Amino acid sequence: MVPYFEFQNAVKLLCGELALERIAIELELMGASKPLMLSDAVLTKIGTLATVIKAMESEGVEPAATFTDIPVDSSLAVVNHIAAFYREQGCDSIVAVGGGSVIDTAKGVRLVLSQNKQDILSLSGLDNLVRGKHVPFIVVPTTAGTGSECTGVAVIRNDSNGVKMEFLSPYVEPDAAVIDPRMTVGLPPKATATTGMDALVHAIEACTCQQANPLSTSYGTAAIRMIAENVVEATRNGSNKQARFAMALASTMAGISFSNSMVGAVHAIGHALGGVCHVPHAVAMTILLPHVMRYNLSHCAQGYAELLPLLVGMEAAMATPAEKRAEAAIEAVVALGRKLHDICGIPLTLSDAGVVRDTFAHVAEVAVNDGALIVNPRAADESQVIEILNAAY
């Protein structure tokens, strides 16, 4: 066990049926009445944002302004632009409706406003900010994967060099997160499968990296079990509200877990693949997970062995000889990926994802500078990252 750890989750979770209708009272309790709604074009088009606004208006809170031009790969400039828009419109709170990009952008906006800055660039770092002014902030995740609603980090691209910058501070955490099964029932099978695998990566990396601690692991292990039991059903039968709700909760728990532990090489390499080759984050996670686990195996056998009962059930795990359990856990992850691939055709190799080998050297150079690598169970240099990329090709 680590000789010292910290644990924080100050996010109030509003989970389950009719949760959206409670946003209005939460804002009121925080003294806010003029929220800025943040979302993206797709969620606006398919009516998800309208569902949230309708639920708020039915309880007496109307948005003061709405901004829906948040791109898939948001940037520091977008954050600064929205912060200025918030001030212009005289808003007093933020409600973000979306996946990872929308939520992380909203976290950035909240940070700029609470720290009373114009430019978020000056705020990057780790635990380096004072609390600042309170800006009421509620998020409504629309995917079950990022866990960003409960993490103390915002990852935002720097426009000038394309590098993803990290803002690690407890003060980026929202005041409340709304986990309403209505928000994910419309998620297409491929997105359900890959974002579910992203959540699985969060939990597995959080439970096995150098920063894992008893509290983060309790959330992580619960998340792994729920994902293993529900991701296939949620992908196959998207209208199954129970499976959807379980995945949304698991994703949130995985978020709490890795926010208080850390992720690892799957994320470091995945971030680099996103930056260099534009592979969507959840797709990169799905492809890389088993290969990074194989790479880590020599340093992490016991940790992986302990995950086996969560992935395949206690009976099957006990029937596996103790010395084979770690490898069996990796095989269980491989089998889960194949099952999801058979249902909806998610890519399982980098070549299927359209990555070309020529980029590997560049990807590796970026990956070793990613903070997620710092507490991976096994160190990795550029040549070792390239080995992993080759294995995943």
Partner 1 sequence: MRFLQSFVVAIVLRFVHAALIELRALDSRVVKEFERMPEGLSYAIRTGHNGPSLYVEWDGRELRRLPSLAHPACALRIKSMPLAFQLFTGQMGLSQAYARHAFTMGGEVADVMRLARLVNLVEAYLFPKIMTRRIMTDVPETEVCFLRAYARILLGFLTCKYKLSK
- The residue ranges that bind partner 1 (CB under 8 A) are 2-6, 124-128, 163, 165-166, 168, 209-211, 262, 299, 365, 368-371, 373-379
| Binding site partner of 314, from Fe ion, partner 1, none, Cβ cut-off 5-8 A by kind | none
CB closer to Fe ion, 175 vs 198: 198
The whole-angstrom separation of Cα 160 and Cα 389 is: 27
In sign, the C-alpha dihedral spanning 256, 349, 265, 370 is: negative
Cβ 292 to partner 1 shortest distance, Å: 14
Minimal distance, residue 336 CB to partner 1, in Å: 27
Of 157 and 182, which CB lies nearer to partner 1 in the complex structure?
157
Distance CA 348, CA 266 (A): 14
Residue type present at position 80: N
Are 64 and 89 contacting, i.e. CB atoms less than 8 angstroms apart? yes
124 versus 151: smaller Cβ distance to Fe ion:
151
Beta carbons of 259 and 168 less than 8 angstroms apart: no
Give the nearer residue to Fe ion in terms of CB position, either 107 or 325: 107
Residue 75 DSSP symbol: B
Query: Could you say whether residue 205 binds Fe ion (CB under 5 A)?
Result: no
Closest CB to partner 1 among residues 264, 309: 264
Burial 290-323 (b: 16+ CB within 10 A, else e): bbbbbbbbeebbebbbbbbbbbbeeeebeebeee
198 binds Fe ion (CB under 5 A): yes
Task: Name which of 86 and 167 has its Cβ closer to partner 1.
Answer: 167
Q: Which of 101-109, 158-166, 194-202, 205-213 is the region at the interface with Fe ion (rule: CB under 5 A)?
A: 194-202
Which CA distances in Å does 157 have to 94, 383, 385? Answer: 21, 25, 22
Distance of closest approach, residue 246 Cβ to partner 1, in angstroms: 30
Q: Nearest distance from residue 124's CB to partner 1, in Å?
A: 6
CB of 128 to partner 1, least distance (A): 4
Helix %, strand %, coil % for the chain, to 5?
Answer: 60, 10, 30
**Residue 104 contacts Fe ion per CB under 5 A:** no
Residue 217 Cβ, how far from Fe ion at the closest point, in Å? 18
CA-CA-CA-CA dihedral for 64, 70, 76, 79, to nearest 10: 0
Cβ at position 366, least distance to partner 1 in Å: 9
Residue 2: contacted member of Fe ion, partner 1, none (CB under 5 to 8 Å, by partner type): partner 1
Applying CB under 5 A, the site for Fe ion has a residue count of 1
Q: Which is nearer to partner 1, 344 or 375 (CB)?
A: 375
C-alpha distances out from residue 345 to 121, 193, 340, 342, Å: 39, 10, 7, 6
Chain residues binding Fe ion by CB under 5 A are 198
